[in-house]
Amino acid sequence: MKRRDFLKAASPLITLPLVLGGFPIRAVGRSRVLDALWQALSSTDRVLVLIQLNGGNDGINTVVPLDQLSTYYQVRPQIALPESKLLPISDSTALHPAMGALQRMYNDGLVAIIQGVTYPNTNLSHFRSTDIWMTASDADQYLTTGWLGRYLDTLYPNYPNGYPNDNAPDPPAVQIGAVLALALQGPLASMGLALQDPQTFYDIINGTQSSAGGSIPDTRPGHELAYLRQVELKSQQYSSSIKTAADRAQNKATYPSNNTLADQLKIVARLIAGGLQTRVYMVSLGGFDTHAAQVDTTDTTQGIHATLLGRLSDAVAAFYDDLRQLGVADRVVAMTFSEFGRRVASNASNGTDHGTAAPMFVFGPQVIPGIRGANPSLSDLDNNGNLRMQYDFRQVYASILAQWYGVESSTLQAVMLKNFETIPIIRNSTTSVGESSPSHADQLVCSPNPVAHGQQLCLEFVLPVPSEVTAQFYDAGGRLLGTTGVGYLEAGPHRCSVAVPTCAAGVLYCHLRAGGRTLRAEVVVR
């Protein structure tokens, strides 16, 4: 059952004078009954954890292309990682040596890597590019709402007016940070609660938080102060639900010390396991603006970048170990993002300057594991000498909303502001954990995949009714590259071959149109 449908069905019941064993429920503890209802609901609701890598992560040293090592060592002589220390995850791809915990997660089928993620006309300003990633805007478009804020507004209309309430007692989103990110900004206000730092969380559960009082002057600064007080009051209203959730669960895994990301994720795990009905959490790890001293001069496997990637890897591994032991791992997907990548060539300061595309990581038992897209070419660059885009970051966002939260197409377009081709990331495109996968009649299988230019692509599919079948190919930007008529086919399973259209190396989307239905599959062209 979808959360919003549950609320519609349950809300009349909550307002009625329910009776249990001849006594009103409130006489035996109304909070326990509601806790049980919300706990039952939490077993199916899905949670997204965003991990922001502030500063622009160097994707090339994070996910290293083993099939281009000669070029790699040529363009990065000061910072290239030794081949003997790399952590292979496929025949052609390896991780940074500091990411051993993440390599183990990858081998356990808990990691998806999406290659070459950016957006057209990448802005290389930290502030502007961060805004673009937060709002899901075009490079020349300025928005005041965030992509998750717009989504959460569909579930919590008119927020914050009337919240919290019996049907929605918990914050829609929680961020560990002083100010809620623009990604969480809704039409009226930020869609959630900011915990300034881990200590704020522990102050809440220990009952030691305090608030500054005093009168508010009727001036413009006073009005701003009044708004901040209103936000603070809302935070205090949510304090009890946060404390209740935290009291219900205790962390079971051992988290690494001296790791600020681990400190944040430790709180998130506890709140999820405690039944807090929060849809989105946001945490961050800073320091990725590695213009200088990205590596140690005597050992490129050490240095600032290695420390950061080690913290990311160790924190995420501990987080999912904790979620597994707490019995809630299937409900949680986590995703990294950074405002941009770094340039292909290293600079004279043993660092890298602002670039374009970089990989994104998606974690969790419900992800389709493996690598999406090809290793970025280190020689076939754009006009500015940067990596070419394979995926628009908004494709990833749209995929998460559609496949993880089950957002319908009309709502998805309203939230994302336009249509974006989705990428297969989540195992089941449903709104509750544990539902069955789509039938084979809804699947299109393409092989070989990856495919080389000049090869024929085999399409496998099932038709429920006789249909005229056409195959179309699109690039990542949605441009139609070619159409092939397959012919009129009877109902049942089919295999056919089509030619791959001429295109640059990267990702293609095959659309098989048959009888008013469209089956879609992603194809990597080398």
Q: Is residue 257 part of a domain?
A: yes
In whole angstroms, how far apart are CA 272 and each of 47, 85, 119, 277, 330? 8, 36, 32, 8, 11
Q: Is residue 100 part of a domain?
A: yes
Q: Say if residue 327 is in the same domain as residue 454.
A: no
Q: What is the pLDDT of residues 283-335, one digit of tens each?
A: 999 999 999 999 999 999 999 999 999 999 999 999 999 999 999 999 999 99
Q: What is the pLDDT of residues 379-406, one digit of tens each?
A: 999 988 899 999 999 999 999 999 999 9
Q: What is the pLDDT of residues 202-212, one digit of tens each?
A: 887 787 755 44
| 204 and 242 Cβ atoms separated by less than 8 Å | yes
Q: Say if residue 95 is in the same domain as residue 237.
A: yes
118 Rama sector, left if φ>0, alpha if ψ -120 to 50, beta otherwise: beta
pLDDT for the residue numbered 234: 54
Q: Is residue 178 part of a domain?
A: yes
Q: Say if residue 431 is in the same domain as residue 445.
A: no
| Of 375, 406, 437, the domain-final residue | 437
Task: Name the pLDDT band for 260 (thresholds 50, 70, 90).
Answer: very high
Q: Is residue 53 part of a domain?
A: no
Q: Say if residue 323 is in the same domain as residue 374.
A: yes
pLDDT for the residue numbered 38: 41
Q: What share of the chain is helix, strand, coil (3-state, %, to 5)?
A: 35, 25, 45
| 75 and 359 Cβ atoms separated by less than 8 Å | no
Q: What is the pLDDT of residues 86-104, one digit of tens each?
A: 999 999 999 999 999 999 9
Q: Say if residue 210 is in the same domain as residue 265.
A: yes
Q: Is residue 68 part of a domain?
A: no
Q: Say if residue 489 is in the same domain as residue 466.
A: yes
State how many domains the chain has. 3
Q: Is residue 52 part of a domain?
A: no
Higher pLDDT, 138 or 243: 138
| 388 and 379 Cβ atoms separated by less than 8 Å | no
Three-point CA angle 17, 22, 25, nearest 5°: 40
Q: Which domain holds residue 28?
A: 3-38
Q: What is residue 114's three-state secondary structure? A: strand
Q: Say if residue 163 is in the same domain as residue 215.
A: yes
Q: Is residue 240 part of a domain?
A: yes
Q: Say if residue 376 is in the same domain as residue 495.
A: no
| Of 387, 403, 437, the domain-final residue | 437
Q: Say if residue 97 is in the same domain as residue 23.
A: no
pLDDT for the residue numbered 24: 39
Q: Say if residue 308 is in the same domain as residue 327.
A: yes
Task: Name the pLDDT band for 463 (thresholds 50, 70, 90).
Answer: confident
Please state, rounded to an integer, the average pLDDT across all residues of the chain.
Answer: 84
Can the peptide bond before residue 97 be classed as cis, meaning omega within 30 degrees of 0? no
Q: Say if residue 134 is in the same domain as residue 115.
A: yes
Q: Say if residue 8 is in the same domain as residue 94.
A: no
Q: Is residue 57 part of a domain?
A: no
Percent share of the chain, pLDDT over 70: 84
- Assess whether pLDDT exceeds 90 at residue 492: no
Q: What is the pLDDT of residues 100-116, one digit of tens each?
A: 999 999 999 999 999 99
Check which CATH number belongs to the domain holding 482 and give it: 2.60.40.1930
| 394 and 337 Cβ atoms separated by less than 8 Å | no
